[in-house]
């Protein structure tokens, strides 16, 4: 899809995409580079980021792509990344909180939080907070949180947010769903607290990436691989992030959840609970301050 006049007004606009070295994030980076953005991809490995920058330059013929080292499982790394971004750029037009992990056994982040909650949600919560001054410096900033249809199965268990109840009580799919519900609640609360920023979230579709091949048991990885022929191509997974980044239809729209067809959908009942959104925000502030 092409939005009229976008090239002329977009030449200097900057987008930061977490998890931009692989999967949906890299596909989104490619489309936005093709549309004339200055693209910063964030990730946890310099080698992978360098390789992705080279690939994106090769595929698009554009050199306006850079990388930012940011391990979302470490608050220290997130702070360093935000500081570095602030030194390199005076404003941020679009932040796409895309990075994600799926694991079916209990793992902890560098800061001791359950890994999926830490990477998929808490690291993005902190990164977004730290980048708010740069977003507020942009004339029409947007924040896009990549959630999932899995959020419909999610609950927020404040007694076990960070894996406190140990491996016996751990269910990887439930923890993933919780982290994705947290993405939707975060979006809602962001929109309430920062109404000038258009913050929305999305489900990208079931997309042919390696997410469930990286940190899972062999049988789960095998199942994911067998299912791949029936998944959407990776580039299609970029459709909704790109739509939320570029479309004039999203102007003035905030706190909403979109599906892979770019339709605004009602998220789960829990995701629409304003008190839960507020409580999660307050608990998250305490968690990121603890480290």
Summarize as ranges the residues that interact with ligand NAP (CB under 6 A).
Answer: 18-19, 21-25, 43-45, 48, 70-73, 98-101, 119-120, 146, 148, 203-204, 206-207, 209-211, 214
Tell me the residue nearest to ligand NAP as measured from the CB: 23
Residue 124 or 134: the one with the smaller Cβ distance to ligand NAP is: 124
Residue 79 or 278: the one with the smaller Cβ distance to ligand NAP is: 79
Q: Which of 70, 29, 10, 80 is nearest to 247 (CA)?
A: 10
In 38-105, the DSSP E strands lie at: 38-43, 65-69, 94-97
Residue 47 or 159: the one with the smaller Cβ distance to ligand NAP is: 47
SS3 call for 162? coil
What is the helix, strand, coil percentage profile of the chain, to 5? 50, 15, 35
What are the backbone angles phi and psi of residue 39, rounded to the nearest 5°? -115, 130
Residue 137 or 222: the one with the smaller Cβ distance to ligand NAP is: 222
Closest approach, Cβ 104 to ligand NAP, in A, equals 14
Closest approach, Cβ 25 to ligand NAP, in A, equals 5
Q: Which residues are catalytic?
A: 176
Quote the CA–CA distance of 114 and 26 in Å, as a whole number: 25
Cβ proximity of 143 and 197 under 8 Å: yes
Residue 14 or 209: the one with the smaller Cβ distance to ligand NAP is: 209
Closest approach, Cβ 181 to ligand NAP, in A, equals 12
Closest approach, Cβ 228 to ligand NAP, in A, equals 10
**What are residue 66's DSSP bridge partners?**
40
End-to-end Cα distance, the chain: 43
Closest approach, Cβ 21 to ligand NAP, in A, equals 5
Quote the CA–CA distance of 239 and 230 in Å, as a whole number: 18
Residue owning tokens 């603890």: 290
Quote the CA–CA distance of 206 and 172 in Å, as a whole number: 18
């Amino acid at each position: 899809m092409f939005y009229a006049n976008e090239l002329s007004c977009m030449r200097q606009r900057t987008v930061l995409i977490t998890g931009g070295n692989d999967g949906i994030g890299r596909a989104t980076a490619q489309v936005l580079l093709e549309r004339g953005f200055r693209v910063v991809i964030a990730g946890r490995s310099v080698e992978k980021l360098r390789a992705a920058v080279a690939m994106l330059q090769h595929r698009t013929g554009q050199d306006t792509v850079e990388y930012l080292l940011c391990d979302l499982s470490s608050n220290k790394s997130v702070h360093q990344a935000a500081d570095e971004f602030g030194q390199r750029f005076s404003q941020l037009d679009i932040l796409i909180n895309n990075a994600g992990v799926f694991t079916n056994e209990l793992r902890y982040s560098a800061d001791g939080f359950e890994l999926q909650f830490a990477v998929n949600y808490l690291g993005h919560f902190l990164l977004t907070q730290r980048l708010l001054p740069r977003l507020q410096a942009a004339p029409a900033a947007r924040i896009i949180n990549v959630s999932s249809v899995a959020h419909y199965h999610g609950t927020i268990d404040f007694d076990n947010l960070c894996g406190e109840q140990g491996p016996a009580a751990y269910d990887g799919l439930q923890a993933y769903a919780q982290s994705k519900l947290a993405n939707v609640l975060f979006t809602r609360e962001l929109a309430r607290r920062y109404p000038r920023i258009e913050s929305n979230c999305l489900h990208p579709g079931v997309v042919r990436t390696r997410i469930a091949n990286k940190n899972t048991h062999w049988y789960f990885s095998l199942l994911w691989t067998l299912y791949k022929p029936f998944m959407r191509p990776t580039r299609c997974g970029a459709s909704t992030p790109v739509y939320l980044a570029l479309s004039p239809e999203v102007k003035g729209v905030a706190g909403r959840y979109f599906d892979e067809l770019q339709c605004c959908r009602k998220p789960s009942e829990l995701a629409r609970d304003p008190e839960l959104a507020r409580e999660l925000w307050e608990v998250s502030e305490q968690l990121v301050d603890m480290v």
